[in-house]
């Protein structure tokens, strides 16, 4: 299978050395879930996992919950609730929404706060190697000591700094040597939760959390590291710097896979802007199958604007697939359309950078042919619809 690697900016073969695909996907920060932007990311990686399994791989899939973070602390203060209570509540809501969308649980679904020791181990090694420095109880990664820093961003210094500042970096921190140096450990602040550390009480930085959880469950090298496109820089860039310098193993991931953003009204759908379409609201109007098919109707790297019209069209498509399955024995095998050939075309599309829109188009041709009695084997056609539909995570009636 080939996937587009954001680091090399080309399609690469996903090659699990032992038949096990190690996949880490950055999860939610649980303070306001679950919108269609969230849904797209996790539907894509759920479908990718299903397809890899269909092709004979074992998928060891880790997804995290960033349950300690500036945004959670800020939201908890606004609501007047404990930060950990807010995190538990929103995580439970997110999981209910994912269950409703037929998104399977990852092999390991893990919380940042359960992995503080691993984070501290990585930080100490980076300090010992001269790649990080301690100031007033804070620990920072020194980007000047890593000549490869920025290799995933594909940006110059000024653009990296501007982008990082838009995504949580504090360039005015007086303890930093460079405005782009990023926090590994934050010294305790009044009213915030803290953990003991060799550098004083505090809490982990955002980026170190994912490095620790990925490596604790998957080792020094992954086949796929995924997340939304907005995580490419600085989050994933910082993960590379931490992880590769900690282990000495390169690359940290064979393929950095980034899902395009979902927009509403011309702006990226986000909690900070409040322009959200919630999964729970859409599920009141449309089926989970339709939502999944609508989201997978765009190539995963393509940003798009959400509309109910897309989901309504997908609902009609799902109805036709289900009708074809219900009629799978009703036609004589005398048509000229070779069902197996179309199945191979759909599989080939998914193997080529997980081209779900093309796979769906191929299956629609097969469904149309099946409903017209034009396939050579209705049973093979039904098998193909179930197989590709299953890889996309659709709930379809089982065969006899």
User: Cα–Cα distance between 94 and 30 in angstroms, integer?
Assistant: 8
Q: Would you list the DSSP string of 267-308?
A: EE--TTTT---BHHHHTTTS-HHHHHHHHHTS-TT--EE--H
Is residue 303, in this structure, part of any structural domain at all? no
The CA–CA distances, whole Å, from 286 to 41, 191, 282, 293 equal: 19, 43, 6, 11
* pLDDT bracket for residue 333 (50, 70, 90): low
Confidence bin at 399 (pLDDT 50/70/90):
low
226 and 329 housed in the same domain: no
Enumerate the H helices of 105-205 as residue ranges.
116-128, 157-166
Q: Is 230 exposed, middle or buried (0-12, 13-18, 19+ CB in 10 A)?
A: middle
| Per-residue pLDDT reduced to its tens digit, 286-323 | 999 999 999 999 999 999 999 999 999 999 999 999 99
Q: What is the mean pLDDT of residues 157-178?
A: 97
Helices 339-351 and 378-391 meet at what angle, rounded to 10?
Answer: 20
Are 236 and 376 in a shared domain? no
pLDDT of amino acid 270:
75
323 and 217 part of one domain: no
In the DSSP assignment, the letter for residue 366 is: H
Strands (DSSP E) contained in 98-235 are: 108-111, 132-135, 138-141, 182-187, 202-204, 222-228
200 and 56: one domain? yes
C-alpha 255: how far from chain center: 13
> Is the distance from CB of 385 to CB of 366 less than 8 angstroms?
yes
Domain hosting residue 321, numbered range: 308-391
User: Crossing angle, helix 308-326 and helix 288-296, to 10 degrees?
Assistant: 110
Same domain as 116, residue 43: yes
Q: Do 335 and 252 fall within a single domain?
A: no
Which residues make beta-bridge pairs with 22?
A: 60
Q: Token pair of 127, please? A: 């300090």
Q: 346 and 243 in one domain?
A: no
| pLDDT tens string 225-284 | 999 999 999 999 999 999 999 999 999 999 999 999 999 988 888 766 778 999 999 999
272 belongs to a structural domain: no
Same structural domain, 248 and 316? no
Do both 250 and 316 map to the same domain? Answer: no
Give the pTM.
0.96
- Predicted confidence (pLDDT) per residue in 94-140, tens digit: 999 999 999 999 999 999 999 999 999 999 999 999 999 999 999 99
CA 105 – CA 50 distance, rounded (Å):
12
Would 229 be classed as within a structural domain?
yes
Q: For position 238, which CATH number holds?
A: 3.40.50.620
Which value, to the nearest 10 degrees, does the dihedral of the CA atoms of residues 84, 68, 6, 149 take?
A: 180
Residue 278 lies in a domain: no
For 50-60, what is the mean pLDDT?
97
What CA–CA distance (Å, rounded) separates 255 from 353?
11
Structural domain count, the chain = 2
Q: What does the pLDDT look like over 175-220, one tens digit per residue? A: 999 999 999 999 999 999 999 999 999 999 999 999 999 999 999 9
Summarised one tens digit per residue, pLDDT across range 344-368 is 999 999 999 999 999 999 999 999 9
pLDDT of residue 138: 98
Domain for residue 282, yes or no? no
């Amino acid at each position: 299978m080939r996937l587009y690697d954001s680091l090399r900016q080309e399609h690469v073969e996903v090659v699990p050395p032992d038949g096990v695909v190690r996949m880490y996907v950055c999860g939610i920060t649980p303070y306001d879930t679950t919108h269609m932007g969230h849904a797209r990311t996790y539907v894509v990686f759920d479908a990718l996992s299903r397809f890899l399994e269909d092709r004979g791989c074992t998928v060891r899939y880790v997804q995290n919950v960033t349950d300690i973070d500036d945004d959670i602390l800020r939201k908890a203060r606004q609501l007047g609730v404990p930060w950990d209570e807010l995190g538990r509540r929103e995580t439970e809501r997110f999981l209910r929404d994912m269950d409703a969308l037929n998104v399977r649980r990852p092999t390991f679904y893990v919380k940042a706060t359960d992995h503080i020791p691993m984070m501290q181990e990585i930080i100490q090694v980076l300090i010992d190697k001269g790649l990080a420095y301690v100031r007033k109880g804070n620990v920072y990664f020194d980007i000047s000591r890593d000549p490869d820093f920025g290799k995933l961003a594909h940006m110059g210094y000024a653009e990296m700094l501007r982008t990082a500042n838009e995504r949580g970096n504090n360039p005015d921190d007086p303890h930093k040597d460079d405005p782009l140096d990023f926090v590994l450990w934050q010294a305790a602040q009044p009213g915030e939760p803290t953990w003991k550390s060799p550098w004083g009480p505090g809490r982990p930085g955002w980026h170190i959390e994912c490095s620790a959880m990925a490596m604790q469950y998957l080792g020094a090298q992954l086949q796929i590291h995924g997340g939304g496109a907005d995580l490419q820089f600085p989050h994933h860039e910082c993960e590379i710097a931490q992880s590769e310098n900690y282990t000495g193993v390169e690359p940290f991931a064979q393929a950095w896979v980034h899902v395009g953003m979902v927009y509403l009204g011309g702006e990226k759908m986000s909690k900070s802007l409040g322009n959200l379409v919630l999964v729970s609201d859409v599920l009141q109007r449309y089926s989970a199958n339709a939502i999944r098919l609508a989201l997978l109707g765009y190539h995963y790297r393509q940003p798009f604007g959400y509309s109910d019209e897309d989901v309504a069209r997908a609902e009609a498509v799902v109805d036709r697939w289900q009708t074809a399955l219900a009629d799978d024995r009703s036609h004589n095998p005398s048509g000229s359309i070779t069902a197996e050939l179309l199945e191979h075309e759909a599989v080939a599309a998914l193997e080529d950078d997980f081209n779900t829109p093309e796979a769906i188009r191929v299956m629609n041709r097969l469904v149309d042919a099946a409903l017209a009695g034009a396939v050579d084997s209705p049973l093979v056609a039904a098998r193909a619809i179930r197989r590709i539909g299953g890889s996309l995570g659709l709930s379809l009636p089982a065969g006899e």
